[in-house]
Structure 1
Amino acid sequence: MTLTTSLIEEIKTLILLSREQAIRAVDQTRVLMYWNIGKRIFEEEQAGKKRADYGSYLIKSLSEALQPEFGSGFSIRQLERYRQFYRMFPIASALRAQFSWTHYKLLISIEKKDKREYYQLEASSNNWTARQLERQINSQLYERLLLSNDKESVIAVARGEKTPSNPTEIIKDPMVLEFLSLKHEDVYYEKDLESVLITHLQDFLLELGNGFSFLARQKRIHIGGDEYFVDLVFYNRLLQSFVLFEIKTHKLTHQDIGQLQMYVNYYDRLEKQDFENPTVGVLLCADKNDAMVKITLPENNKSIVASKYQLYLPSEQQLLDELKNELGKF
């Protein structure tokens, strides 16, 4: 008698799920243990607050007592981190079950409260893994959104207090495509960039952000007997609209904007349902002249967005400098 393939696969699935649940349970217990340790250190420290150096003495003494028996997880640096963990997340019931200790280590490394809250909310609502959270922090997602939005708006959207009404509240500029592993000096055509984006679609969707679903690549449309092809077609459930991407590996021209406007008009007139919002067009380009884009488009434009892509992770200073430049224009 031979075992059926379906039975073997079913048992394998049960084993893997059980392992995953066990790992998650262990990590949740560890998170709570670190929180309680941080709480006790903080309370003890406050009790001795008349001595300015008591906190340092307390952690150093605890480390010397615990580390020989329990290992490097109780070094001075780690104990300070547990104390910081409690101070930043003082309510145990507010700790999120889907967050591992790695999630919390990343979050407590963010000093600015608004920035930390943003990443916490986004990681929770989008069920980011710790690696995905780390990638979003390293790509300066929060700062990139601030380039075209105010801080209050960014946080309100993350909290679910506000539904995005303008594409710039979701679509980032620049977009960071470091996951493609392309070098800046490499020569590649638009079809090459399109192909590698599809190959890394999951990473691209993560970069695009909330609410995006992929619909089509090289979508054929007919206009007056002629055929045209839209590079990438997405739908965004928050904007409730189609989002069309045209990829340009050169500096953006007014002809590129006109081409995308034609595609947007086509979708608005022939594809969009009455309950849906106007179609959004995104020009993903290697370089752009912001003044040319603004002059080419109507002043009340909300349908076309030009976003420069870069193939490397930006430094925080780069984003801050760009943010200062944007603010200086007003």
Structure 2
Amino acid sequence: MESSIQQYKQAVSVIKDAILYSQYRAAKLVTGEQLSLYFGIGGYVSAHSRQEAWGTSVIDRISEQLRRELPGLRGFSSQNIRNMRSFYEYWRQYIICSPMASKLQIAVNKDVIDIDNFSLQKWSPMASEINREEFLGISFSHHMEILHKTKDLHEILFYIHQTVLHKWDKYDLRDRLKEGLYQKQGAAANNFLQTMPVNDARKAVGMFKDEYLLDYINIDEMEVDKPEDIDERVIEKAIVRNIKQFIMTFGRDFAYIGNQYHLEIFGEELFPDLLFLNRELNCMVVVELKKGAFKPAYIGQLQTYMKVLDDKVRKPHENPTIGILLCKSANKAFVEYVIRDYTHPMGVATYKTAEDMSEELRKALPDMDEMRKLLINESDTDN
């Protein structure tokens, strides 16, 4: 009996997956056809309205007449026809094989609209940066939300990818555009958007920076003979001595748990450099310090700490641990390539100490002792 129930559940699961995948393919096909149609109409309208004297009201009259001749027609308001023109005029430079060929085709067939511009045979080699599946996988409304916000190709492709990845509707996408998610995600190399729930990922993206100024760490004042003798432990101790400043540098809602936090698993002992709790994200944040440039091996070390923390230390109500690797320098593009397939949320940032600051910048910054005195005096005045 139990075996037949399992078979029944397995059959339902398999059939359901097939139905959902078929529905996805059908929806994508419809979307692709619509985009191809709108692109073709946009090209036709662009050629006539930009190059010929159609007049300012012609598009309005075309829209009105189409609705009369095709009752129930949707998506062909005068504004949407203008959007089709904008859609075509932006993407033609990347999609059509040759701009000159496009102009020639319109000149010869000025009363014919090509509705098959997105077929593989016509997809331009110039479009190598564009993921064709993703481009055709989001609606025209999504495309226009993005194009109304930005004309930067890399930013557009970022939002297309995120829309497909997280299945955003038009209003979700609009909110992400308003938040400037692309600019925020550029703050640090991380995989938060791929490994965390979207709301938590947005918070994490906005929380961590690409570089931290640890100007209270002064190499000259450290008791070492040579700069090359400075290692991670020396920097870590300086951070611990100035933990309040470090937390203020790091951001809000961080609580310090400890440094060289002892972990043990299968008889192996591990000691991550710094461990925090973030109340906003409801998770631990483990920070690993490196004195030199980023190396891929550091990510494996960081992920090991995160796995053990999640298995041995994390409370049932807490979210998975976030890992932050702080290096002296890092090639962001290389870092993003290395971490993109990891399933644990992590980011890589760089840091500067007082030694790295130019003399001009040091002079421009306010003296910390004077600032403290000023704040104390202001506090006394308020009381």
| TM-score of the aligned structures, taking structure 1 as reference length | 0.45
Q: Which has the larger radius of gyration?
A: 2
Q: TM-score, normalised by structure 2?
A: 0.40
